[in-house]
Amino acid sequence: MRAISGLWRWRRNPLCRPTDLAEAWVALAALLLILLVAPVAGALVGETAQDALQRSVRAQHEARHPVTATVVRKLDRSPLDADPETSSGRDLRNRVLADWTAPDGTSHQGPVLASLKDPRQGDRFRIWTDRHGRMVARPLDSATASTHAVLAGFGAALGTGGLIEGGRRLVVWRMVRRRHARWDQAWDKAGPDWGRTGTGS
């Protein structure tokens, strides 16, 4: 912002170098690009992600079905399960042997994780399966998909802004290097005795 406000001051300033003005113009162009391009990129990415995720939500809800499973008996913890003293709250599910009927009418039995505090024989709980009764993960819901799309849009906008700012810094770095190279050339032309001309030394 300092360089942009400096544009106004430097318009007719005799001390203003062309490189100072060029840096200010680069900063102004970068700011305008960030204000205009980054939101557009975020909106486009967010909209695309929303469409793709909502299609995925619909597909998952068509392919996955909630069924009611019945506890046959509680199973011991698997030796590969996490240590109960170090497991988190999300691990407070019990492994049970359960029966369920698939949407296609076939019967199934197998070990599942039940979100029951103290499962007993005959307790019922809900699981998600495909139409053939194979267990699957719970389908994505529409609100979660929208949240992911919004986050993708914000990420794209921030990434675009970062790329523009990175480009601005690269351009300014190149300009400063060129300026330093010109100064070195000017010092070489002036020689080691600059400023001593006519002093008799």
Would you list the DSSP string of 65-92?
EEEEEEEEEE-PPPTTSPPTTT--GGG-
Average pLDDT over residues 147-172: 95
Measured CA angle at 130 (ends 125, 131), to 5 deg: 105
Query: Which residue, chain included where needed, has tokens 């970068």?
Result: 30
Task: Tell whether the model's pLDDT for residue 154 goes beyond 90.
Answer: yes
More reliable by pLDDT, 54 or 194? 54
Q: Which tens digits make up the pLDDT trace of 3-28? A: 455 555 555 666 667 777 788 888 88
Q: Which tens digits make up the pLDDT trace of 173-192? A: 998 898 888 888 878 877 66
For residues 50 and 146, is the Cβ–Cβ distance under 8 A?
yes
In this structure, which amino acid lies at residue 69? A
Q: Is the pTM of this model over 0.75?
A: no
Among residues 164, 126, 156, the alpha carbon closest in space to that of 48 is found at 156
pLDDT, residue 15, reads 63
pLDDT, residue 13, reads 64
